[in-house]
Each structure stands twice: as C-alpha cells, then as structure tokens.
Amino acid sequence: MLKNYFALSDKGYKNLKQSIFIGVIYNISLMLPVGLLIYLLNSFITPFINDTEKSSMNFWIFSGIALLLFILLYIIEKIKYRLSYISAYEESANTRINLAEKIRTLPLSYFGKKNISDLTMTLMEDVTTLEHVLSHTAGEMVSAMISIVIIGVSLMFFNWKMAVALLAFVPIAVIMILVTKNIQHKNNKMVSKSKLKIYDSIQEILDNIKVIKGSNLEDIYYDKLKGKLDDSIKKALKVEFSTGSIIMSAQSILRLGFVTVIITGIYFIMNGQIDLMTFLIFMVIASRIFDPLSSVFMMLAEVIHSRSCVERMLEIENYEIQKGSKSVNLSSYDINLEDVYFSYEKESVIKGINLEIKQGEVTALVGPSGCGKSTISKLIARFWDINEGSIKIGGVDINTIDPEELLKNFSIVFQDVVLFNDTIYNNIKVGNMNASKQEIERVAKLARCDEFINKLSNGYETVIGENGYTLSGGERQRISIARALLKDAPIILLDEATASIDPENETLIQDAIGKLIKGKTVLIIAHRLRTIENVDKIVVINNGKVVEQGTNDELLELKGMYSKMLSLQKESAEWEIKQ
C-alpha cells in the first residue's frame, strides 16, 4: 500500500519499512523512562499509603539504568536517522533521475500537451515535497500509529476500563480526518494549479523578455503576474485554514481522553476498583500519549497533500512510450510514406500523403507556411507516431524500430537550432561523442564555424550560454550543421539549414552540405526556392497533401503552385524601399 501510495522503488520501500520498524522500537523505548519514573513514584508513594518501609534503590544503580537507557535511545535514534533521512534523500535523487530518463524517452506529442514549467514543477517541487514526507513524515506517522496500537493493547491487559477511557475519542478523531481526506486532496490540487499558473507566467516573461521590453509591456505583465500571485496566496491561505481547522478540531476531540481518564480514574478510586498507583500510571501515560497522536494527525494532513504530487509524477511514469526493436538491419535507406495521416490533437495536418524519397537523391519539400513540411520530416524521424498509414525505411516500418535506434540513422539540422550551455567544442561533439579533436575541428571548418571560433578569446572552449545566446543566429546554425557533419548518418534531414546564414557564407556552407549528402538519403525543407533548383526531386505540399512533384524544370512547365511561388519570391527579391 505504502509503496503504491508514494510511488516508491523496491529499495525505497524496503528502507521505509525498516524506518517504520526502527521507529516503532524507538517509540516503545521512549516508554522505558516513563516506566522508570513510575517505579520511582511507586517507591516513594506506596510506603506512605500502606505505611510500610520505603523500598530503596541504590543511587548508582538508578543512574546506571538511566545512562543505559540514554545510550540505547541514542543508538536507535542514529539508526532511525540513517534509515529515515539518508534513504529518503537517495530515493528522491533516484526519482528525479528516473523521471528525467522517462521524459527523455517520451514522444514529442507529450511535450505538446505539457510545458516546461509544468515539468519543472514536477521534477523539482513535487519531488522535494515527497522527499520531505518520506524523511520527516511517512515513517514517523506509521511507526507512531503502530506504537500507539501496541501501547493501547498493552494498557488493555493492564486495566481495560481505564484504557478505554483513555483512548475512547481516538477513533472519532481518526474518522474525522479520513472523512475530510478527499476535500483536502481537492484543495491541494487547486493550490498546485494556481502555483503552476505562476510558473507559466514567469516562463512566458523570460521567454519573451525582448518583446516585453521593446514594446513597453513591463507594467502589464507585472500586473498579470501579481494577480496570479495574489490568487495563489488567497487559495493557499484558504486551504491552510480549512486543513488547520480540521486538524485542530480532531486534536481537541482527541485530548478529551485526558479529561475522561481523570473523571473515570477518580470514580474508580472512590469505588475501590483501582488503586492510586494505577491512576497515577494512567495519568503519566495520558500526558505522553496524546502528543504523538496529535503529531500523527499533522503528519497525516501532509501525507494527503503529498498525494497530488505523486499523481503528477505517476502521470509521467505511466505515460506510454514509443516502442520497437533495438536490433534492426536496414538493407537500404529509401523512405516510403504510404497513405500517411497525422493530427495534432483534433487538428488534421497530414492527409493521406504518398511519397518516395530515394537513397542517393536529394528531395526537397516546399509549400506555404503551415502546410505540413516540417511535420513530415519529424514523422519520418518518429518524433511523433502517425495516426494511419505507414512510413518505411528500407522496407521496414519505422513503428517497429526503437526511436533511439532509428535516430542513429539520421543527421538533422532544424531551423530552430538547440544548443547547450556548454563549450562550442562540446556542442559540436554532440553529433558523435566518440569523435576526436581533429574530426571536430575538420567539420567546424567545413561548416565555416572556425571563422568566428578563432576570434573568440577561448576558441573552442568558449561557453556559449543557454541555447547559445552569445552567438548570432547564423553562428548557431553553423554549429548545428557542424554537428550533423560530424554524425555523418545515412539519412539527412535539413529544415531550411541556411535560413540564418549571411549571403557570403551561404554558398560555402552549401558546398559543405554537398559533401555531407553524397550517396545518402536527403530530405530538404526549403523556403527559399532558389536554393533547391538543382535537387533531384521537388515535392510541393499544400494543406497536408502532395499537390505537385518533379524536377525544377518539370514543375515550371506545369505552371502550377511551384511556378507561382518561385515567381513571387523573385518579385520580393527585387523589392526595395522608395522614398
């Protein structure tokens, strides 16, 4: 039950059980000093009541027993700390690693439904909440509950009437907490959603800071963020008040047991049913037992709160990943799309496309923005899975190939370049982690990266910042091309690879790409049609369908969509500002 509730690993569950066990031992051990105190009381009080000689205990024996109890409690506490805290920190670290690994294997369709702030909240805040519950709450709570049951049963054997009087209100308080569990869970989810809105707003501001500053929108976005913060605070206070009210009410009901013990004990003494010593024993126990019970209720509220965090983690863990064989031998790298359909949620994007992309040829996809060109390239790389039809490479359906195994056959340069906050050297090395320094420098020269790298003070060891923000768009794209050159895979996907390159370097980089694509299966997504006039085949996409295909000359003779697009681009190239 606990393993599923907290989504624990086998090792984490084992450590939690051990923590609970040692916690029970510790809690029961805490009753030993109480027993020693009762013995002392008995030694001093009984002679006065029965008019007998005082029983004496040697001071050194008493001190020795007290010291042994202290050492025993210290040893148990040390073991308890290791099992409760260190194991909880290890479990949370492993949870983050496992979640990150799972996220790495998820299809891009998942990231279309989730944003960065949502995933960050789960990886950081939710795991931290669970870590705190595992280290400070879960083991303590369960061990306290078991200890109280053991002590309660023991008291029943000692004097069941007084034990019932002591614990009579415990079931009522427990039921009160459990009945309101769903309300607390619902309130916690509401607060989490309000926090997520804050993270989303901060992420939006950071992503669009240039536009916000350039358009003087600082006050507007500040007010929006402040409004979300105020709303989150109000909801959090409301939840804290409602949860606190429930817990305080339960604790108040619980402590009625102390009053019951006093009244019942006095009644039994007056009727001769118990002696004064038994009454004092129950008074001492009553002064101790309600504090851990109150703590249990506090911890139970925290455990209920942690469940919403666990549910978000399980949403990632249980999300279905793309599967396939890891051992596939492709005889060729021809790509065939057969009656392919694909939709983003309910929006149909690719509508029954049939297309052949041959090995050793360069195929270009052209068409208006939003027609599905980039989507086709991502479907071929299996970043998404198609809804209908099939995509085959060398006659093998890509849905039967493990995505990571499939991508070993691709070198990809997307229009939206992604770089790491690392050195230029390591960013290029991503293409092939086993590449030598000489190989990295060679592809950097081919991609015309060395021209700007050599001007930097640290050269290849220059750290380029998050997503390469210290570089220009053209420099970032050249690093991406160098990375693809280094990988040297049999299938090349180029999504407007020279879009951010200045005219001086465009021809040189096209020569480098020419070396990259020799004898390979090449798919180019082009917006500037003049760059693909000499490719083997041009495919015109419109509204998710193939409307024309052929060579540049063949398409010009058709005088269709391609011819019109080329004519419009030539006109725009001649456009100038007139005063």
Model confidence pLDDT, tens digit, residues 555-566: 888 888 888 888
> Is 414 among the domain residues?
no
Percent share of the chain, pLDDT over 90: 10
Amino acid sitting at position 461:
E
Lowest mean pLDDT among 300-314, 369-383, 417-431: 300-314
Confidence at residue 36, expressed as pLDDT on a 0 to 100 scale: 65
Which residue type occupies 22?
I
Maximum CA extent, the chain: 125
Do 19 and 6 form a contact (C-beta atoms < 8 A)?
no
- The structural domain count of the chain equals 2
Per-residue model confidence as pLDDT tens digits over 517-555: 777 898 988 877 777 888 889 999 998 899 989 988 888
* Residue 528 included in any domain: no
* Whether 302 and 336 share a structural domain: no
- Classify residue 348: in a domain, yes or no: yes
266 shares a domain with 388: no
d(CA 393, CA 331): 9
Residue 113: other Cβ atoms inside 10 A: 9
Using DSSP, state whether 500 is helix, strand or coil. coil
Domain harbouring 368, CATH code? 3.40.50.300
- Position 53 scores a pLDDT of 54
pLDDT of residue 60: 66
Q: Is the domain of 349 the same as that of 223?
A: no
Q: Give the CATH number, domain containing residue 265.
A: 1.20.1560.10
Residues 282 and 342 in one domain: no
Rounded to whole angstroms, the Cα distance separating 110 from 31 reads 53
Say if residue 577's pLDDT is above 80: no
In percent, how much of the chain has pLDDT > 70?
89
Q: How much is the pLDDT for 392? A: 93
End residue of a domain, out of 264, 289, 317: 317
Give residue 356's pLDDT: 92
What is the number of H-type helices and E-type strands within the chain? 24, 10
Indicate the pairing of strand 362-366 with strand 521-525: parallel
Spatial separation of the C-alpha atoms in residues 523 and 492, rounded to whole Å? 6
484 part of a folded domain = no
User: 504 lies in a domain?
Assistant: no
In a domain, residue 258? The reply is yes
Average pLDDT over residues 510-522: 75
In the chain, the amino acid numbered 312 is R
> Residue 339 — very low, low, confident or very high, per pLDDT cuts 50/70/90?
very high
Single out the residue in 317, 340, 356 at which a domain terminates. Answer: 317
Q: Which two tokens stand for residue 326?
A: 């890891």
Strand 537-542 and strand 362-366: the pairing is parallel
Residue 504: pLDDT band (50, 70, 90) is low
Residue with tokens 């949370």: 92
Domain shared by 277 and 363, yes or no: no
**Could you tell me if 174 and 276 lie in one domain?**
yes
More confident residue, 345 or 498: 345
Same domain, 286 and 333: no
**Predicted local confidence at residue 467, as pLDDT:** 77
- Highest-confidence range of 14-18, 179-183, 488-492, by mean pLDDT? 488-492
In a domain, 518, yes or no: no
pLDDT tens digits along 30-66: 766 666 666 666 666 655 555 555 555 555 666 677 7
How remote is the C-alpha of 465 from its chain's centroid? 23
- pLDDT at position 565 is 85
Among 253, 283, 317, the domain-final residue is 317
pLDDT recorded at residue 357 = 92
Q: Is the pLDDT of residue 293 over 70?
A: yes
Segment 374-385 shows an average pLDDT of 88
Q: Which two tokens stand for residue 352?
A: 């029954």
pLDDT, residue 241, reads 81
- CB burial of residue 243 (10 Å; 0-12, 13-18, 19+): buried
pLDDT at 515: 67
Whether 53 and 156 map to the same domain: the answer is: yes
User: Cα-flanking dihedrals φ and ψ of residue 519, to 5°?
Assistant: 70, 15
Q: Give domain status of residue 123, yes or no.
A: yes
Q: What's the domain range around 86?
A: 2-317
190 and 246 in a single domain? The answer is: yes
Query: 119 falls in which pLDDT band (50, 70, 90)?
Result: confident
Which pLDDT does position 497 carry in this prediction? 65
Q: Clarify whether residues 229 and 292 are in a common domain.
A: yes
Q: What is the mean pLDDT of residues 277-305?
A: 76
| Average pLDDT of the chain, as a whole number | 81
Residues contacting 107, CB < 8 A, separation 6+: 321, 322, 383, 384, 385, 403
Whether 42 and 98 share a structural domain: yes
User: Is the same domain home to 355 and 308?
Assistant: no
Predicted TM-score (pTM) of the model is 0.71
> Could you count the other beta carbons within 10 Å of the beta carbon of residue 555?
23
